[in-house]
């Protein structure tokens, strides 16, 4: 493992962490697709900025691009407010238009520069170590690492400073406004952060991977915890893990690093989706299977309770008629009966009639009065 | 180049003719099916499906080493459908919401597609050249067999759309009512979504995965501004789609430095902007003028308050409003 | 000679679950033909769920429903449905006439398009709800009351024997409400059965002759005079209900068509229930 490998992995991990943080809020605020929109439109900001300053490494590019990200959000919002198109259509109209302008500007006027459309999508993290940050004649390491490191710190600082405001405005915008937290301002600040992160990560991992790194670790963490702070920490950890695994995969298969990282993030989500305790699919299926028997026995108890005093009780509360009325499979009915008897909720009389025990009645009453 | 020489070229130049035909076909199909996608709030789903198609295309090539249009389209369709199924599974079985599920599916499938693409590009097989055009599209590369495949599949989709027209209308407007009548709404949903996927994948070669969804949405959004009838909207949307496709494809074939995808999207977006501003009844400029006129008339205080607070027209008996909404 | 009234709707032991949570437990009820029944209960009581399960939109965990003695799937032609107004997007590009014709789609079956005959039937239905002149109007231009009338017209076009309606009075103006009540009474007069999920307790005695009190379980079901009393209401609403006792004074002070026994309290909407226009 060479120094280049280490540097690449470091950059990848820092990038993933920087993306995971705002990603959590995008997911919770149901605004995940805006990351897709912004990741496309920042290109326009970069291109226009480049035309102005003619320098690809100028900080103006980042500022301009971040501004374009925010512009995207406001244009989309403006369009939606005309009530002529719905919210999802507004998003789907604004960013492709802006992105198309950018692509055409590039291919027409900037084709001979490093900005080429494939890089836009994929970035090229493999080249990142070659782009050094030179200050006063000293080689301080890859520029990408510095840029993403600063962005990570900015994101971290923002989230720490405004944790309370972010939390409240995410879960209860009305309350936030009533408390004077200006949820609109927080929304745009978050969008600005997302834009800056996208621009920074752009050069390294390309626009689509930014979306994957923002969303995948966050939704994975969402399946594992209910607490915001834990979700943030977990997302960063999962993002970092995706970066590591992705790089390993890329080396193994000689494939694109960015693509492999996205794939790794996807795989991690898939694993958690299946195996998460409580929220995972397997756990849910197991729980449902158990509940099905519980449910059926409760249904039985309630049914017996409702009919025991009525004249139909003699007819309905019998083993043979049970499955007719409830429309249950006779086999299933028998098994439910046995379980209910084991619970001492139901007693089977020799006449074939079913009786609810005191325990059974208590249980049934408890269920229906909640 | 002036218009008359352009038109002559259209009829004489074989390549240009093929390109124009292909673009028109995909424009019509995506416009028509885009109407329903727009009304069913599936704009972003379309975006996800089109991005997700990339790994399908590349894998289809890797497995068959063929770039036959039917092969690539099949791969795209399977991948697009898998993405839709995964999306639905996620939102049905977890607490993850639709936007996050879409963003996830979109980015991971697309990332996988890019990884596969770069892997393929490193193969010594020269046939892989041209696969990267599926990113932003290249109408100029359309061959007759491509256009034939597009027309066949697209035509089939349009026929099915026409045949089940009232069922799809019912599905899009009031699904529960349709179910109560006895129509199998779930199956119809699957069918309509399949038609949408078809419309998307036949356009991928010309417009590219990144921007195809805009061609599904934009013509429909533009058409919506001009009419209140579903049938007219669909037809108009098909027309706008064809116009955008044609102009985009032609410009991109004839002028250097214009990829097809972005050019088509810009034409479609221009149509949308034009429609939003100038369509009678709904158009913003129209409404602006009407507002100035009506401000001079006396309006009942309650009905104004009603309009401002709810955006709905006043109760029955009020003057029939021309536009769908009062401009807030 | 008294003939036993036919049972239009029979619900047996119906239990419906939604995402592992039971919404309805073991519901039994019968609705005789030619009656006008209200289904009331607190929010989350399962009223809409009951309706949807009867119509086959949801699958029960246990129990079954019979329409005139047969399963619903065999009797669709006899049933008309008015869903909640808020369940559709009224910005959909379609006209009033078009929506009403959808009521005839079931009769047309697959693929066949509505023609002149269907249009005539639709216009007739629109006339019955007083919306004939709005036939060509885009539905987004309608007020709440007008939208409700259109939904009703659509159900009328179905020409059913039983009508199920989900909160048809929600958010409509007073004129429309009176018109809808008159329509419902007219339907009952002609021997139709009408079942309405209703949100306003105050108007139950005045509008309906039968009522079903629902709160996950069927608390009580029968003629309003017998069933709609303080004790049952308390059992349904769990005590979260206020009563104003005004003996000898019928609900709302309006003499309703339906007999209201003296001493039945005027019951305002229960605490926790959304008001007339809330949702």
Task: Give all chains having 3 or more CB-to-CB distances under 8 Å with chain A.
Answer: B, C
Chain B positions touching A266 (Cβ under 8 A) are 104, 108, 111-112
CATH of residue A203's domain is 1.10.3470.10
Cα C153 to Cα C4: distance, rounded to the nearest angstrom: 31
Partner chains of C (3+ C-beta pairs under 8 Å): A, B
pLDDT (0 to 100) of residue A126: 60
Q: Which of B181, B227, B321 sits opposite C105 (nearest CB)?
A: B181
Nearest Cβ partner for B182 among C76, C102, C141: C76
Angle at A197 between CA A196 and CA A203, to 5 degrees: 100
- pLDDT of C8 higher than 80: yes
The answer on A336 and A206 residing in a single domain is no
| Interface probe, candidates A308, A326, A340, chain C, greatest C C-beta count within 10 A | A326
**Given an 8 Å threshold on Cβ–Cβ distance, is B132 in contact with A223?**
no
The pLDDT value recorded for residue A129 is 61
> CA B265 to CA B42: how far, in whole Å?
18
Q: Helix/strand/coil (H, E, C) string of A325-354?
A: HHCCCHHHHHHHHHHHHHCCCEEECCCCEE
| pLDDT confidence of residue C104 | 95
CB contact under 8 A, C12 and A325: yes
Q: Give a yes or no: residue A248 inside a domain.
A: no
The verdict on C62 touching A (C-beta cutoff 8 Å) is yes
Which chain B residues have a beta carbon less than 8 Å from that of A106?
none
Among A195, A211, A227, the domain-final residue is: A211
Q: Do A284 and B103 touch (CB under 8 A)?
A: no
Is C26 within 8 Å of A325 when comparing Cβ atoms? no
Q: Among A81-95, B131-145, C78-92, C175-189, whose mean pLDDT is lowest?
A: B131-145
Which member of C83, C140, C154 has the closest CB to residue B324?
C140
Which residue do the tokens 């599926």 mark?
A: B134
Residues B324, C146: C-beta atoms closer than 8 Å:
no
The model carries a pTM of 0.86
For chain B, which residues make up each domain, given as ranges? 3-286
Burial category of A289 from C-beta neighbours within 10 Å (exposed 0-12, middle 13-18, buried 19 and up): exposed
Which of A33-47, A115-129, A322-336, B300-314 bottoms out in mean pLDDT, i.e. has the lowest? B300-314
Evaluate if residue A325 carries a pLDDT over 80.
no
| Lowest-confidence pick of A56-65, A186-195, C114-123 | A56-65
Residue C2 predicted with pLDDT over 70: no
Question: How much is the average pLDDT of B31-60?
Answer: 95
Report whether pLDDT(B313) > 60.
no
Q: Does C61 reach chain A within 8 Å, measured CB to CB? A: yes
Co-location of A15 and A133 in the same domain = yes
- List the 200-229 stretch of A: residues with Cβ below 8 A of B: 206, 208-209, 211-212, 214-216, 218-219, 222-223
pLDDT above 50 for A266: yes
Please give the structure tokens belonging to residue A60: 């103006």
Q: Does the pLDDT of residue C270 top 70, yes or no?
A: no
pLDDT band with cut points at 50, 70 and 90 for residue A336: confident
Q: Would you place residue A351 in the very low, low, confident or very high pLDDT band (cuts 50, 70, 90)? A: confident
Residue A172: what pLDDT? 83
Closest in C52, C92, C142 to B173, CB measured: C92
Q: Is B53 left (phi over 0), alpha (psi -120 to 50) or beta?
A: alpha
Q: Are B77 and B137 in contact (CB under 8 A)?
A: no
Does B320 score more than 70 pLDDT?
A: no
Q: How confident is the model at residue C164 (pLDDT cuts 50, 70, 90)?
A: very high
Same domain, A52 and A200: yes
Q: Give the angle C257-C263-C266 at the CA atoms, nearest 5°.
A: 65
Alpha-carbon distances, residue A324 vs A291, A297, A314 (angstroms): 22, 16, 14
Give the helix ranges, DSSP H, for chain A: 3-28, 33-53, 59-81, 87-109, 117-122, 143-161, 163-171, 173-178, 183-222, 228-253, 257-275, 281-307, 313-316, 319-326, 330-342, 358-368
For the cut 70, the answer to whether the pLDDT of residue B240 exceeds it is yes
Q: Is A306 within 8 Å of C28 when comparing Cβ atoms?
A: yes
Predicted pLDDT of residue A141: 67
- pLDDT for C102 equals 96
Selected residue of A89, A287, A303 to mutate for chain C interface (largest C Cβ count, 10 A): A303
C252 pLDDT exceeds 50?
Answer: no
The answer to whether residue C53 neighbours chain A at the CB level (below 8 Å) is no
Q: What local confidence, expressed as pLDDT, does residue A110 receive?
A: 65
Contacts of B328 in chain A (CB under 8 A): 81, 83
Lowest mean pLDDT among A219-228, B224-233, B290-299, C53-62: B290-299
Query: From the CA of B156, how many Å to the nearest CA of chain A?
Result: 26
Query: Which is higher by pLDDT, C258 or B278?
Result: B278
Give B-chain residues touching A96 at CB under 8 angstroms. 211, 213-214, 218, 265, 269
Would you call A295 and C17 a contact, using CB atoms and an 8 Å cutoff? yes
The residue out of A211, A232, A248 marking a domain boundary is A211
For residue B249, the number of C-alpha atoms closer than 13 Å in the C-beta half-sphere is 32
Residue range C80-108: average pLDDT? 94
**If pLDDT is split at 50, 70 and 90, which confidence band does C1 have?**
low
pLDDT tens string B253-289: 888 878 888 999 999 999 999 999 998 888 888 888 8
Q: What is the pLDDT of residue A7?
A: 85
Q: Which residue among B44, B257, B328 places its CB closest to the CB of A107? A: B257
Specify the pLDDT at position A137. 58
Contacts of B55 in chain A (CB under 8 A): none
Q: What is the rounded average pLDDT for all residues in chain B?
A: 86
Radius of gyration of chain A measured on its C-alpha atoms: 29
Per the rule left: phi > 0, alpha: psi between -120 and 50, beta: everything else, C278 is beta
Please say if the pLDDT value at position A229 is more than 60. Answer: yes
Residues A56, A158, single domain; the answer is: yes
- pLDDT, residue C249, reads 38
Structure tokens at A340: 């209910």
CATH classification code of B3-286: 1.10.3470.10
Q: For the residues C58-65, what does the mean pLDDT come to?
A: 88
A–B interface: beta-carbon pairs under 8 A: 204
Neighbours of chain B (3+ CB pairs under 8 A): A, C
Residue of C nearest to A298 (CA): C25
Distance in angstroms (rounded) separating the CA atoms of residues C78 and C9: 11
Please name the member of B47, B119, B257 whose beta carbon is closest to the beta carbon of A92.
Answer: B47
> Are B312 and C55 in contact (CB < 8 Å)?
no
Rounded to an integer, the average pLDDT of C50-61 is 91
Q: Which of B173, B179, B320 sits opposite C94 (nearest CB)?
A: B173
Is residue B33 over pLDDT 90? yes
Query: Residue B111 is nearest to which of A36, A212, A253, comparing CB atoms?
Result: A212
Residue A332 belongs to what domain range? 287-369
Our CA-based measurement puts residue B40 at a distance from the nearest CA of chain A, in whole angstroms, of 10
Higher pLDDT, A346 or C210: C210
pLDDT value of residue B67: 86
- Last residue of a domain, which of A211, A237, A257? A211
Which range has highest mean pLDDT (A163-167, A316-320, C15-19)? A163-167
Instruction: Give the rounded percent of residues in chain B with a pLDDT score beyond 70.
Output: 90
DSSP annotation string for A157-218:
HHHHHTHHHHHHHHH-HHHHHHTT--HHHHHHHHHHHHHHHHHHHHHHHHHHHHHHHHHHHH
For chain A, how many structural domains are there in total?
2
Minimal C-alpha gap between A286 and chain C (Å): 12
Beta-bridge partners for C210? C37, C223
pLDDT, tens digit, for every residue of A111-170?
Answer: 655 455 555 565 666 666 666 666 655 565 677 788 889 999 999 999 999 998 899 888
- CATH classification at residue A341: 1.10.10.10
* ipTM exceeds 0.85: yes
Which positions in chain B touch C141 (Cβ < 8 Å)? 313, 320-321, 324
pLDDT digits (tens, 9 = 90+) for C223-236: 999 999 888 888 88
For residues A50-64, average pLDDT: 77
Mean pLDDT of chain A: 84
Residue B282 and residue B225 in contact, taking contact as beta carbons nearer than 8 Å: yes
- Domain membership of residue A218 (yes or no) is no
8 Å CB contact of C15 and A368? no
pLDDT at residue A4, as a whole number: 77
Is residue A269 included in any domain, yes or no? Answer: no
> Is B173 part of the contact surface with chain C (CB cutoff 8 Å)?
yes
* Residue range B311-324: mean pLDDT, rounded: 37
Flag whether residue B320 sits within 8 Å of chain C, measured between CB atoms.
yes
Residues 197-226 of B with CB under 8 A from C: 224
């Amino acid at each position: 493992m060479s120094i280049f490998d280490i540097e690449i992995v470091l950059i990848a991990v820092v990038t993933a962490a920087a993306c995971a943080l705002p990603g959590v809020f995008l997911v919770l605020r149901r605004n995940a697709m805006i990351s897709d929109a912004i990741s496309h439109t920042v290109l326009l900001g970069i291109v226009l900025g480049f035309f102005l300053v003619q320098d690809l490494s100028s900080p103006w590019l980042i500022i301009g691009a971040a501004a374009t990200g925010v512009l995207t959000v406001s244009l989309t919002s403006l369009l939606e407010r005309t009530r002529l198109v719905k919210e999802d259509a507004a998003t789907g109209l604004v960013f492709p238009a802006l992105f198309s302008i950018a692509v055409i500007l590039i291919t027409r006027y900037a084709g001979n520069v490093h900005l080429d459309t494939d890089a836009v999508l994929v970035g090229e993290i493999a080249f990142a170590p070659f782009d050094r940050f030179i200050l006063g004649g000293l080689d301080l390491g890859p520029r990408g690492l510095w840029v993403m490191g600063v962005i990570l710190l900015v994101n971290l600082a923002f989230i720490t400073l405004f944790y309370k405001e972010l939390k409240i405005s995410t879960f209860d915008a009305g309350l936030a406004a009533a408390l004077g937290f200006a949820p609109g301002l927080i929304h745009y600040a978050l969008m600005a952060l997302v834009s800056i992160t996208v621009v920074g990560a752009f050069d390294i991992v390309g626009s689509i991977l930014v979306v994957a790194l923002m969303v995948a670790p966050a939704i994975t963490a969402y399946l594992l915890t209910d607490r915001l702070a834990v979700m943030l920490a977990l997302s960063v950890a999962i993002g970092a893990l995706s970066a590591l695994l992705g790089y390993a995969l890329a080396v193994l298969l000689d494939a694109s690093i960015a693509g492999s990282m996205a794939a790794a993030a996807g795989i991690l989500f898939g694993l958690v989706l299946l195996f998460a305790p409580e929220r995972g699919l397997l756990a849910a299926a197991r729980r449902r299977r158990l509940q099905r028997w519980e449910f059926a026995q409760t249904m039985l108890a309630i049914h017996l309770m409702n009919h025991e005093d009525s004249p139909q009780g003699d007819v309905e509360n019998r083993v043979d008629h049970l499955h007719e009325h409830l429309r249950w499979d006779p086999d299933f009915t028998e098994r439910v009966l046995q379980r209910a008897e084991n619970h001492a909720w139901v007693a089977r009389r020799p006449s074939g009639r079913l009786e609810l025990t005191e325990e059974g009645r208590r249980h049934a009453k408890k269920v229906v009065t909640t | 180049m002036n218009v008359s020489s352009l038109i002559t070229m259209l009829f004489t130049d074989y390549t240009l003719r093929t390109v124009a035909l292909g673009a028109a076909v995909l424009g019509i199909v995506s416009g028509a099916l885009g109407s329903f996608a727009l009304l069913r709030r599936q704009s972003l789903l379309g975006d996800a499906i089109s991005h997700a198609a990339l790994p399908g295309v590349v894998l289809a090539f890797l497995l068959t080493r063929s770039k036959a249009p039917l092969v690539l389209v099949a791969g795209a369709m399977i991948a697009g459908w898998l993405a839709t199924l995964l999306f639905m599974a996620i939102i049905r079985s977890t607490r993850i919401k639709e936007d996050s599920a879409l963003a996830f599916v979109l980015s991971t499938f697309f990332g996988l597609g890019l990884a596969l693409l770069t892997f393929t590009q490193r193969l010594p097989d020269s046939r892989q050249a041209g696969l990267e055009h599926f990113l932003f599209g290249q109408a100029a590369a359309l061959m007759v067999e491509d256009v034939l495949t597009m027309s066949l599949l697209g035509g089939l989709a349009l026929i099915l759309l026409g045949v089940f027209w009232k069922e799809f209308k019912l599905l899009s407007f009031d699904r529960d009512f349709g179910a109560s009548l006895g129509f199998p709404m779930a199956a119809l949903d699957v069918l309509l979504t399949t038609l949408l996927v078809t419309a998307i994948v036949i356009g991928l070669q010309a417009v590219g995965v990144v921007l195809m969804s805009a061609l599904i949405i934009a013509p429909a959004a533009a058409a919506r501004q001009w009419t209140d009838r579903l049938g007219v909207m669909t037809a108009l949307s098909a027309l706008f789609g064809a116009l955008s496709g044609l102009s985009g494809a032609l410009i991109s074939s004839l002028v250097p430095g214009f990829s097809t995808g972005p050019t088509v999207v810009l034409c479609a977006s221009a149509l949308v902007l034009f429609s939003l501003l100038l369509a009678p009844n709904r158009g913003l400029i129209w409404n602006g003028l009407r507002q100035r006129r009506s401000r001079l008339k006396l309006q009942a205080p309650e009905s104004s308050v009603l309009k401002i607070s709810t955006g709905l027209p006043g109760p029955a008996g009020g003057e029939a409003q021309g536009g769908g909404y009062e401009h807030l | 000679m008294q003939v036993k009234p036919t049972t239009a709707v029979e619900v047996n032991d119906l239990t419906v679950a939604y995402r592992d949570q039971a919404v309805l437990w073991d519901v039994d009820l019968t609705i005789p033909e030619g009656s006008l029944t209200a289904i009331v209960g607190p929010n989350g009581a399962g009223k809409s769920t009951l309706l949807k399960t009867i119509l086959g939109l949801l699958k029960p965990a246990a129990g079954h429903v019979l329409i005139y003695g047969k399963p619903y799937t065999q009797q669709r032609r006899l049933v008309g449905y008015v869903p909640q107004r808020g369940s559709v997007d009224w910005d959909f590009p379609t006209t009033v006439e078009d929506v009403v014709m959808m009521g005839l789609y079931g009769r047309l079956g697959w693929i066949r398009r509505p023609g002149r005959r269907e249009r005539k039937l639709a216009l007739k239905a629109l006339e019955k709800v007083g919306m004939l002149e709005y036939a060509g109007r885009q539905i987004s231009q309608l007020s709440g009351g007008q939208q409700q009338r259109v939904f009703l017209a659509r159900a009328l076009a179905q020409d059913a024997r039983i009508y199920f309606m989900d909160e048809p009075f929600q958010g409509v103006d007073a004129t429309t409400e009176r018109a809808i009540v008159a329509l419902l009474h007219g339907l009952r007069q002609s021997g139709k059965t009408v079942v309405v999920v209703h949100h306003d307790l105050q108007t139950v005695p005045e509008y309906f002759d039968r009522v079903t009190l629902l709160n996950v379980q069927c608390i009580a079901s029968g003629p309003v005079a017998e069933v709609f009393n303080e004790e049952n209401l308390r059992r349904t609403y769990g005590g979260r209900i206020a009563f104003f006792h005004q003996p000898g004074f019928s609900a709302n002070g309006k003499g309703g068509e339906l007999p209201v026994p003296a001493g039945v309290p005027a019951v305002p909407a229960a605490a926790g229930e959304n008001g007339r226009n809330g949702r």
